[in-house]
Amino acid sequence: MTESATTAASILWDHWQARSRVDQLPAGCRPGDRDEGYSAQRALASIAGQRIVGWKIAATSAAGQKHIGVDGPLAGPLLANRVLEDGATIPLDGNIMMVGEAEFAFTFARALPRRASAYTQDEVLDAVDALHPAIEVPDSRYNDFVTVGAPQLIADAACADWFVLGTRTSAEWRLRDLARHSVAVYLDGQLAGTGSGANVLGDPRIALTWLVNEQSRYGDGISAGQFVTTGTCIIPVPIRQGITMRADFGDFGTVTAQLGRT
């Protein structure tokens, strides 16, 4: 881990803790490509002192990529102290994005370690233990996250902040067309958005395989017991303090978060 990666990570972690922002990283430690971005990301997780329990994907749709000025998806770690149970309260103090997302998440029974060749989708799915409905409330440590570019966003944990992992589904999801599976989001009981698995790189299984191979290329792969959340199935919905968000995945289950101060 380079000194510049550690410096970048320290800056971002300090702002994350303070709920403050920086315009961009100083030139001397600013990552210039994906590899340098992931190096800073690993340093950030180390400085945080938290176990990585899962991985997220940002910018899984063409519209999302255009919005933040990147040419492809981004991967980021989800830290143990920021992954909550169904029904938990998500603090919104200091959040500048103020959006909620509904996502398919997959827990892994077996590790998929780093290797030279890419994992196939069949190999990835064979290692999966369960599917879960999930909610992500992202955020950024940059004042203007749409202009800083992919390497700096990767360094910033791909805009990770809070995450709610729902109960594993009891439905036989492996036999279903996840791309066509509908998802709806309600805010205080009112329908706020709809979408489907097709919104995440065309299919959540494609997004899942992409992240596994991104971690194999730039990291240490996926560990047994970790989960991967595959990106928002809906256009992110604006949220505010004091409301309840519920993501309804039909017979796959629901997941709920209380949005506001703890």
Distance CA 124, CA 250 (A): 24
pLDDT > 90? residue 60:
no
User: If one looks up domain 51-259 in CATH, what number appears?
Assistant: 3.90.850.10
Residue 262 has pLDDT above 60, yes or no: no
- Residue 229 φ/ψ region, left for φ over 0, alpha for ψ in the -120 to 50 degree band, beta for the rest: beta
This prediction's pTM: 0.96
| pLDDT tens per residue, range 110-134 | 999 999 999 999 999 999 999 999 9
Percentage of residues in the chain having pLDDT higher than 70: 99
Q: Locate 90 and state its tokens.
A: 């998500």
Amino acid letter for position 91: P
Q: What is the DSSP letter of 22?
A: B
pLDDT in tens, 3-39: 999 999 999 999 999 999 999 999 999 999 999 999 9
Q: Residue with structure tokens 């191979």? A: 213
Residue type, 177: D
pLDDT score for 261: 64
* SS3 state of residue 198: helix
Q: What does the DSSP 8-state code read for residue 142?
A: B
Name the region of 242 (left: φ>0; alpha: ψ -120 to 50; beta: rest). left
Q: Which is more confidently placed, 177 or 68?
A: 177
Write down the mean pLDDT value for the chain: 95
Q: Coil, helix or strand for 230? A: strand
pLDDT at 40 over 90: yes
pLDDT at 232: 94
pLDDT value for 7: 98
pLDDT for residue 62: 74
Single-letter residue type at 121: Q
